[in-house]
């Protein structure tokens, strides 16, 4: 008789284990599964250059990032060619300049695309605000008194026909639409088109 009681107790304990497993597996099946935890993006904000390059526009004033700038432009082109690249000078009231290369510049065209950008502030960090206010962009460049095409210069504006105080020179690559910094600026002067 004792054996029967032991068998009965043992049988109940087995049944209770099966029931626990069953309820445990059912309850797990009905719970939501979390397979990953999303961490907030750690991407750094895009620079102005990253925001603008490749951007199409039909009017510069429609580009939010350039709203506070007054703009002027000039065309650089190969000799004996009608096509070229437009250089757009964006000037803020406090003297900060940005220079943009654009593939087209018909105000109503959808073909206007920003190809490259120079943020002049990068090169003027050590200057006073007064010095910055006197800077301008020029496209009529002389190397040892010989005119050179496809260059632009950052220079101090002077009331003179030729400007000698040149800070930076960039070559405008008309094929790639990119600015290429010219390291050696010795012998370079600028013709003041406005004089």
Question: Which band of pLDDT confidence, cut at 50, 70 and 90, is reported for residue 144?
Answer: very high
Task: Please give the average per-residue pLDDT across 136-165, as a whole number.
Answer: 93
Between CA 177 and CA 104 the distance in angstroms is 11
Determine what percent of the chain falls in helix, strand and coil, rounding each to the nearest 5: 25, 35, 40
State in Å, rounded, how far the first CA of the chain is from the last one.
123
Identify the pLDDT of residue 12: 57
CA distance 133 to 131: 5
Per-residue pLDDT, averaged over 166-192, amounts to 93
**How far apart, in whole angstroms, are the C-alpha atoms of residue 12 and residue 192?**
103
Confidence check: pLDDT of 59 > 90: no
Distance (Å, rounded) from C-alpha 121 to C-alpha 139? 19
pLDDT band at 67 (very low <50, low <70, confident <90, very high): confident
CA 1 to chain centre: 89
What is the structure's pLDDT at 97? 82
Q: Is the pLDDT of residue 19 over 50?
A: no
Question: What are the residue ranges of helices labelled H in 59-172?
Answer: 129-133
Per-residue DSSP letter, 113? B
Determine the pLDDT at residue 139.
92
Name the nearest CA neighbour of 118 among 185, 52, 186, 59. Answer: 52
Measured at the CA of 60, the angle between CA 54 and CA 65, to 5 degrees, comes to: 70
Q: Tell me the pLDDT band of 142, cut-offs 50, 70 and 90.
A: very high
Least trusted range by pLDDT, from 4-8, 25-29, 176-180 = 25-29
User: 42 is written with which tokens?
Assistant: 């750690």
Tens digits of residue pLDDT in 31-41: 555 555 666 66
Distance CA 64, CA 112 (A): 16
> Is the distance from CB of 172 to CB of 85 less than 8 angstroms?
yes
Residue 99: closest CA among 136, 58, 50, 57: 136
Q: How far apart are CA 82 and CA 76, in angstroms?
A: 10
What pLDDT is attached to residue 14? 58
Beta bridge partner(s), residue 173: 178
């Amino acid at each position: 008789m004792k054996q029967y009681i032991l068998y009965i107790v043992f049988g109940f304990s087995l049944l209770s284990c099966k029931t626990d497993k069953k309820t445990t597996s059912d309850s797990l099946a009905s719970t939501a599964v979390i397979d990953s935890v999303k961490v907030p993006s750690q991407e750094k904000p895009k620079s102005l250059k990253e925001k603008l390059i490749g951007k199409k526009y039909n009017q510069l004033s429609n580009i939010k990032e350039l709203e506070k700038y007054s703009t002027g432009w000039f065309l650089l082109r190969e000799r004996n060619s009608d096509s070229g690249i437009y250089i757009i000078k964006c000037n803020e009231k406090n003297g900060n300049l940005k220079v943009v290369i654009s593939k087209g510049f018909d105000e109503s065209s959808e073909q206007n695309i920003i190809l490259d950008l120079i943020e002049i502030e990068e090169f003027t960090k050590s200057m006073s605000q007064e010095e910055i206010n006197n800077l301008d962009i020029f496209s009529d460049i002389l190397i040892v008194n010989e005119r050179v095409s496809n260059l632009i210069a950052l220079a101090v504006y002077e009331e003179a026909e030729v400007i000698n105080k040149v800070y930076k020179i960039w070559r405008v690559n008309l094929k790639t639409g990119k600015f290429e910094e010219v390291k050696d600026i010795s012998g370079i002067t600028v013709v003041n088109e406005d004089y």
